[in-house]
Amino acid sequence: GENVEQHPSTLSVQEGDSAVIKCTYSDSASNYFPWYKQELGKGPQLIIDIRSNVGEKKDQRIAVTLNKTAKHFSLHITETQPEDSAVYFCAANAGGTSYGKLTFGQGTILTVHP
């Protein structure tokens, strides 16, 4: 089955800096890669996603890049703000008969210091 590795496990930045979180996946059939932000006591919130036919997608301060050959994808947050502090999860959704199942990484705790 699919396996998703996420790094780093913790990330500390100063307000205004950029933050990058990286994930690798194992199943070359995976074709959909969402990113979620989870705040304390809340469920994961979808912040951006990318499909395998696209190499990069941007939404204001957030961008995601995908390298299908290397089987890795990354989340980029620019001009970080204290409210960006949360746990971030990457996920992969394999195609075929497993298309409904998301496999998550282990999460990255992002702390943005004012």
Partner 1 sequence: DAGVTQSPTHLIKTRGQQVTLRCSPKSGHDTVSWYQQALGQGPQFIFQYYEEEERQRGNFPDRFSGHQFPNYSSELNVNALLLGDSALYLCASSLQGMSQPQHFGDGTRLSIL
Binding site for partner 1 (CB under 8 A): 4, 6, 31-32, 34, 36, 41-46, 49, 51, 89, 91, 93, 95, 97-107
Measured from the CB atom, the residue of 10 and 12 that comes closer to partner 1 is 10
CA-based nearest residue to 37, from 86, 3, 72: 86
- Shortest Cβ 110–partner 1 spacing (Å): 15
Measured from the CB atom, the residue of 65 and 104 that comes closer to partner 1 is 104
- Shortest Cβ 90–partner 1 spacing (Å): 9
- Shortest Cβ 52–partner 1 spacing (Å): 9
Measured from the CB atom, the residue of 77 and 91 that comes closer to partner 1 is 91
Burial (Cβ within 10 Å: 0-12, 13-18, ≥19) of residue 100: exposed
Residues sharing a CB contact under 8 Å with residue 20, sequence separation 6 or more, in sequence order: 74, 75, 76, 77
